[in-house]
Structure formats: structure tokens, C-alpha cells
């Protein structure tokens, strides 16, 4: 919703205005979440690493336990995903060699998106929004199980206590999983 609203805004370059745009609207978004007793599923870690695939895909792949990933996800399959995780198949990978200014713009855009998520998340934690740990498993470079550990670390880096992060992965989602 915030992305669609920002796309209609007149502020200009994505990276320069998006974080401020989200910060300005955070209170209203959180008020709606609390008023409607909604639970938010976090995907901070994913937002922090997805943009790194643009220019650092090989490095990202070398840091993952891809031997545990579904081969159809790695290579791509019309039944699982239109594209895969590997070089030449990854939709986030920049395969040409952009000019330095364009490369900086792309990197700044991805970092702004990650920072906007962190900003909103921190404010949700401060205001007591119910949050469950998520991973977006099955998306690019997200290995189920392993990605949850990375998500918990991101939750703690961004304002949750370790105990609250563990609750976000266990006790908080448990009653909702029963339905």
C-alpha cells in the first residue's frame, strides 16, 4: 500500500524519498494495525538481502546452504517459478554492465527499500504490534529453515529482544496456526 501511494507522490527519486515517505506514514499504518488487531509477518532479512542479488549473486549463493534448496527453485521450473536462483535465471540479477551512476541508483533503490522496512518494523516493535517471524520461503535465495535463523537475527538487530524474537517464531504464531 505504501509503495503504491509513493508511486503517485511527487517527491522524486525512489532512494531519496521513500524512507522518509514511509516514516511519515508509519504512525497511521500502525494505528490501523492495532485498531484492527492484525498480526504482521516479518520478512526483514529477505528485504535486507534481496537487492544484493543485483550485483553480488555469486557471493550470495556461496553463503547459502543451497544443497538444501529445492532443485526446481534453483534452476527454475514452469511449475515452481518462472525463473530460478542461479546466474542467468535470477530475476534480480543485473546481467548487463550499467554505467556507474546507474549502478549506484539501483543499489540505493534496494537499500532504501530495506531501510523503509526496518524503519516501519522498529516503529511497530515500539508500539507493540503483534509480529510473527516469517521468511517468504520459496522466494529467491530463501532456504527454508536456515532463513528463519537469519530472520530472527534481523528481528533482534532491528529492535526486538532475543526473547521477543523467539516468541515471534513460536508462541505468537502458535494460536494462529491452529486455525
Q: In this predicted model, what pLDDT tens digit does every residue of 62-82 receive, in sequence order? A: 998 989 988 888 887 766 555
Least confident of 15-24, 109-118, 126-135: 15-24
Do 26 and 123 touch, CB atoms closer than 8 A?
yes
In the predicted model, what is the mean pLDDT of the chain?
86
pLDDT over threshold 90, residue 162: yes
What percentage of the chain reaches a pLDDT higher than 70?
87
Residues 59 and 100 sit within 8 Å (Cβ to Cβ): no
Task: Look at residues 133, 135, 140 and name the one whose alpha carbon lies nearest to residue 80.
Answer: 140
> Cβ–Cβ contacts within 10 Å for residue 30, how many?
18
Query: Looking at residue 83, what is its pLDDT?
Result: 77
Cell of 9: 507522490
pLDDT score recorded for residue 96: 87
> pTM here?
0.85
| pLDDT for 108 beyond 90 | no
* Predicted pLDDT of residue 84: 84
Residue 3 has a pLDDT of 56
User: What is the pLDDT at residue 2?
Assistant: 55
SS3 annotation, the chain: CHHHHHHCCCCCCHHHHHHHHHHHHHHHHHHHHHHCCCEEEECHHHHHHHHHHHHHHHHHHHCCCHHHCCHHHHHCECCCECCCCCCCCCCCCCCCCCCHHHHHHHHHHHHHHHHHHHHHHHHHHHHCCEEEECCCCCCCCCCCCHHHHHHHHHHHHCCCCHHHHHHHHCCCCHHHHCC
Q: What is the pLDDT of residue 179?
A: 63
Binned at pLDDT 50, 70 and 90, residue 166 comes out as very high
Encode pLDDT of 1-59 as tens digits.
555 555 545 544 566 688 888 999 999 999 999 999 999 999 999 998 888 899 999 99
Mean pLDDT of 120-148: 91
Cβ 21 vs Cβ 11: under 8 Å: yes
Residue 89 CA to residue 74 CA, distance in Å, equals 9
Task: Enter the C-alpha cell of residue 46.
Answer: 529477505
Amino acid at each position: 500500500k505504501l509503495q503504491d501511494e509513493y508511486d503517485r507522490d511527487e517527491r522524486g527519486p525512489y532512494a531519496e524519498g521513500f524512507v522518509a515517505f514511509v516514516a511519515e506514514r508509519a504512525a497511521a499504518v500502525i494505528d490501523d494495525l492495532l485498531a484492527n488487531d492484525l498480526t504482521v509477518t516479518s520478512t526483514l532479512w529477505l528485504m535486507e538481502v534481496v537487492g544484493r542479488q543485483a550485483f553480488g549473486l555469486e557471493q550470495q549463493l556461496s553463503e547459502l546452504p543451497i544443497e538444501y534448496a529445492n532443485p526446481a527453485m534453483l534452476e527454475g521450473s514452469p511449475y515452481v517459478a518462472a525463473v530460478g536462483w542461479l546466474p542467468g535465471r535470477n530475476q534480480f540479477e543485473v546481467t548487463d554492465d550499467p554505467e556507474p551512476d546507474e549502478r549506484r541508483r539501483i543499489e540505493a533503490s534496494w537499500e532504501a527499500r530495506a531501510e523503509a522496512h526496518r524503519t516501519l518494523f522498529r516503529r511497530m516493535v515500539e508500539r507493540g504490534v503483534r509480529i510473527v517471524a516469517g521468511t517468504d520461503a520459496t522466494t529467491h535465495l530463501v532456504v527454508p529453515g536456515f532463513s528463519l535463523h537469519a530472520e530472527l537475527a534481523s528481528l533482534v538487530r532491528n529492535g526486538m529482544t532475543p526473547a521477543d524474537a523467539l516468541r515471534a517464531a513460536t508462541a505468537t504464531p502458535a494460536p494462529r496456526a491452529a486455525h
